[in-house]
């Protein structure tokens, strides 16, 4: 996410975390939680959409997906599940504000767990993939776009249709219209490599009056 903010989430009230006696509590600033929750939700939207399509293809019906999230300091699974449940209720009520949603037919909140990345090979692979994209896009941190590693992932990106076009599940940049992020030429080239086109990358010009 490049220069992206969710001001509405940042302004949310602080969270009261009650102790086991159900009377005393500590205050947890909600701004510490919104970022990881929103990013994980955006990731799960794409992942579960792909799983739903694959489930229909392989089994003819939705099958629940086991989701494992790497343990990180400051991440609380119960709060994330509460965040997702609230999002599901907003979807049912038609009050959600984000453009996409989880593919709920394959999501069972009881099957979302956490584990140390060192214990799960899939989580280690996820770290490798995210690290390769970080090296390729984060010019501020690494001072250049190093695409040597991420270029090897192109053939693994989900594709669809007879033309095998990139399906839009593999790489998601925020803000949604990336022309708002003032990408460098190298950063723009990276996103084009993974399916982005002028609609998302090129700032619209002024609409001129017809003669």
Q: What percent of the chain has pLDDT over 70?
A: 79
- Per the structure block, which two tokens stand in for 209? 């009056």
Give the pLDDT score at 144: 86
Q: How far is CA 104 from the centre of its chain?
A: 16
Q: Which of 131-140, 157-166, 171-180 has the lowest mean pLDDT?
A: 157-166
If one compares 89 and 170, the residue with the highest pLDDT of the two is 89
Query: Are 45 and 100 in contact, with CB atoms under 8 Å apart?
Result: yes
pTM over 0.75: no
Assess whether pLDDT exceeds 70 at residue 195: yes
* Locus of tokens 């709920």: 104
Q: Which of 12-16, 34-38, 57-61 has the lowest mean pLDDT?
A: 12-16
Assess whether pLDDT exceeds 80 at residue 13: no
pLDDT band at 32, cuts 50/70/90?
A: low
Most confident of 25-39, 66-80, 148-162: 66-80
pLDDT band at 81, cuts 50/70/90?
A: very high
- Bridge partners, residue 67, by sequence: 112
**CA gyration radius, the chain:** 19
Alpha-carbon dihedral sign for residues 86, 84, 41, 31: positive
Most confident of 105-109, 120-124, 161-165: 105-109
Query: Are 113 and 81 in contact, with CB atoms under 8 Å apart?
Result: no
Helix segments in 60-204, DSSP class H: 77-93, 121-137, 139-142, 185-193, 198-201
Q: How far is CA 189 from the centre of its chain?
A: 21
Rounded CA separation 10/162 (Å): 43
- Per the structure block, which two tokens stand in for 108? 């069972």
Give the pLDDT score at 10: 53
If one compares 103 and 207, the residue with the highest pLDDT of the two is 103
pLDDT band at 52, cuts 50/70/90?
A: very high
pLDDT band at 105, cuts 50/70/90?
A: very high
Instruction: Find the mean pLDDT for residues 96-118.
Output: 88
């Amino acid at each position: 996410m490049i220069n992206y903010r969710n001001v509405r989430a940042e302004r949310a009230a602080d969270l009261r975390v009650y102790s086991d006696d159900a009377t005393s509590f500590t205050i947890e600033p909600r701004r510490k939680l919104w970022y990881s929750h929103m990013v994980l939700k955006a990731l799960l939207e794409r992942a579960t959409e792909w799983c739903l399509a694959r489930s229909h293809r392989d089994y003819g019906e939705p099958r629940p997906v086991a989701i494992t999230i790497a343990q990180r300091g400051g991440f609380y699974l119960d709060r994330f599940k509460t965040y997702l449940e609230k999002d599901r209720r907003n979807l049912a009520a038609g009050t959600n504000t984000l453009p996409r949603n989880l593919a709920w037919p394959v999501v069972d909140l009881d099957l979302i767990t956490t584990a140390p990345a060192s214990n799960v090979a899939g989580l280690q692979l996820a770290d490798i993939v995210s690290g390769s994209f970080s090296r390729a896009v984060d010019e501020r941190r690494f001072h250049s776009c190093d695409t040597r590693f991420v270029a090897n992932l192109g053939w693994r990106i989900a594709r669809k249709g007879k033309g095998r076009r990139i399906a839009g599940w593999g790489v998601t940049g925020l803000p949604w219209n990336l022309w708002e992020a003032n990408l460098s030429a190298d950063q723009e080239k990276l996103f084009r490599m993974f399916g982005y086109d002028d609609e998302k990358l090129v700032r619209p010009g002024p609409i001129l009056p017809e003669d």
